[in-house]
Amino acid sequence: MRDHFEALAALAAKADESMGPAVKKACQMVADAVLSGHNVLTFGNGGSAAQALHLAAELVVRYKDDRPALGGLCLNSDVSILTACTNDYDFSVVFSRQIEALGKPGDVAFALSTSGRSPNVLKGLATARARGLRTVLLTGSRGAAEAARWDVGLVVPSEETAHVQELSLAIIHILCRFVDAERGRTQTHPM
C-alpha cells in the first residue's frame, strides 16, 4: 500500500509540473462551453468509460456546490445506441456516430484513452473536429503523440494504466472545481 501511495504522490508532483498549462487550457475550455450553454461530450472505453461517466455526472448533477445543471453527456452510457451501432456498423464508429448526431459547434468533445490509441476514440475526436467542436484527449504517456493532434492534449506522465486512471480522476475533479469557481465568479445569482 505504501509503495503505491508513494508512487502516486511522486507521479502527482511530476504531473503538476508537466501538465499545468494543458490542464489550465482544458479547464477554461470546459468552463467556457458549459457556462455558455454548450455541452461536454465525454467518451472512452473500459476504465476510461467510467471516468467519462464520472465527468458527465459531475457536470449535470454537481461537483461540490449546488448550482444549476451544466451540459455533460456521456457517449458510452447508452447501451441501446452502443449495441445497435456495433451490430449495424462496427465498434469503431460508436462515438463518431453519436457526435455526428449530437455535437454542435461550441461543444467540447472530451475523450479519455489510457493508451491514446483506441480507434473508436480517435474517430470520435476526428468527427468532432470536422463538426466544429473543440477537442480534448486525456491519456497516458504512450498517447503523447496522439494527444498533440487535438486542441488540448492532457498527458499523464506514466505508462502504468492504474496510475493514469488515478490521475485522470484528479484532473476531472480539478476541471469541475474550476467550472464551479468560474461560475461563482461570473454569476451574480445563486441557484
Residue 191 lies in a domain: no
Residue 48 lies in a domain: yes
Q: Are 98 and 71 in contact (CB under 8 A)?
A: no
Write down the residue that cell numbers 441557484 correspond to: 191
| Segment 63-111, tens digit of pLDDT | 998 899 999 999 999 999 999 999 999 999 999 999 999 999 999 999 9
d(CA 11, CA 25): 21
Amino acid at 125: L
pTM, two decimals, is 0.94
How many domains in the chain? Answer: 1
Write down the pLDDT at residue 187: 67
Write down the pLDDT at residue 131: 98
Domain limits at 111?
Answer: 2-186
Residue 24 lies in a domain: yes
CATH at 7: 3.40.50.10490
Residue 38 lies in a domain: yes
The partner residues of 73 in beta bridges, in order of sequence, read: 41
The closest of 33, 175, 51, 8 to 107, measured between CA atoms, is: 33
